[in-house]
Amino acid sequence: MQQQLRIGIAGLGTVGGGVWKHLHTNAELLLQRTRTRIAITRVAVRRAERAEALGVAPELVTPRWQDLPEDPNVDVVVELIGGTTDAYELISRSLKAGKHVVTANKALLAECGEELFALASRHRRQLLFEASVAGGIPIIKALREGLVANRIISLHGIVNGTCNYILSQMSTTGRTFEDVLADAKALGYAEADESLDVEGHDAAHKTAILAALAYGFWVPMHQVYTEGIRHIEQEDVKYAHQLGYELKLLGIIQADSAGAVEVRVHPTLVPREHVLASVNGVFNAVYVRGDIVGDTLFYGRGAGADATASAVIGDIAEIACMGPDAARCRGVGFDALYARVRGIEDIHSRYYLRLEVSDRPGVLAAVASVLGEHQIGILSVIQPERDSGKTSVPLVIMLHDAVERDVNAALAKISRLEVVKEDVVRIRVETFAKK
């Protein structure tokens, strides 16, 4: 017997418009696969002309998102308005009113996910969020279902297409950050205010969600170490190539046997032979290591109307397929082994350092002496010849594995050396070694 699932959409922007379009275009395919007729019965949009341009029937349109939770002809509310104020109220009211919810709102889930999933559980409703991380890549379902038998050892993600485009272009064209950023804006890959992307906050929200799925507890955002790419200079990209690396903004999540979990986002040198080094442009990828399955890679478009709409519609279809079982809320699974976050000062990593130093004998020995005092070994050194007329030269040093706290202490002392002329540039290096 054919069933019907009635959908209310809040927001008809890039993603909302894509959801409207593809729910209609693939209506018969979805009916065949879910045995449920999925019908849009209400659309909340601030600008009626946007709905008109998409062909939404006027009787379905309301300017008030508040009408969706109150509408008895809506079974599922799709929240695509963004932000953390109205979106929070919409999701909360919808769950309390007995509606299932589908959202792409990574910022809201990162900040309030624990509370909202508890609310969904109390009201026996679904809160699905595949589109919140990595667009059309089904990484949420993979962690919740396909890898459910695994303890996640580590997860490394390129989850912001804007930053990946900028760093890829800097790598292949030799242009500066500011030049490539201007192109990204012209192409629509970056917003007019690029700070959410390039300062790492968007990637941090997504990484926090993945950490909750992987380890079963929500990490407060202030405990997610976040560093963006605005300070990356072309000469660091050049030296990375000489050393055999590509530069990527990574979200890194990994656990130790004592129950501590690292959750951090920052520019990272990735070995050029590693699969993540070849992920370029606006594409995203998530590299997951499980204790049973080993290494797996999830790759695809991380943003855009079609990729994100695909994930949203996938969640709607999942609710349609559940039928009566949809009352069983699927939140974040708990794993008693993991309970705390390891701070950035306690991590172990390799490091890339670039110093601007006086061009005279004994400089490397002075720097090496400070590193030695903190039990930090040097892996390799690049000392380019100085340009004519300059009294200082770059000194590039690769460090062995070290504790971040020790590196910080050493850099504080190195920066005070008379021979060091500028702030030291430090970039973490990922080897993907099994620990």
Q: Which of 394, 404, 393, 396 shows the shortest CA–CA distance to 428?
A: 404
Cα(327)–Cα(319) distance, integer angstroms: 9
Cα(317)–Cα(297) distance, integer angstroms: 24
Question: What do you get for the CA distance between the two ends of the chain, in Å?
Answer: 53
Give Cα 8 distance to the centre of its chain: 27
Q: Which of 38, 44, 14, 116 shows the shortest CA–CA distance to 316?
A: 38
Strands 260-271 and 245-255: antiparallel
* Residues ≥6 apart with Cβ < 8 Å to 63: 44, 45, 46, 48
CA 428, 429, 432, 433 dihedral sign is: negative
* Residues ≥6 apart with Cβ < 8 Å to 176: 170, 233, 234
For residue 292, which phi and psi values (nearest 5 degrees)? Answer: -105, -50
Q: Do 9 and 16 form a contact (C-beta atoms < 8 A)?
A: yes
Strands of the sheet with 36-44, listed across from one edge: 61-62, 36-44, 3-10, 76-79, 100-103, 127-128
Q: Which of 262, 26, 212, 258 shows the shortest CA–CA distance to 112?
A: 212
Among candidate residues 206, 413, 421, 435, the one labeled active-site is 206
Does 206 participate in catalysis according to the annotation? yes
Q: Do 185 and 198 form a contact (C-beta atoms < 8 A)?
A: no
Cα(251)–Cα(428) distance, integer angstroms: 12
Helix (H) or strand (E) holding 297: strand 294-301
Q: Do 427 and 269 form a contact (C-beta atoms < 8 A)?
A: yes
Strand (E) positions, 30-112? 36-44, 61-62, 76-79, 100-103
Cα(359)–Cα(385) distance, integer angstroms: 9
User: 3-class DSSP state for residue 375?
Assistant: coil
Query: Which residues are annotated as catalytic?
Result: 206
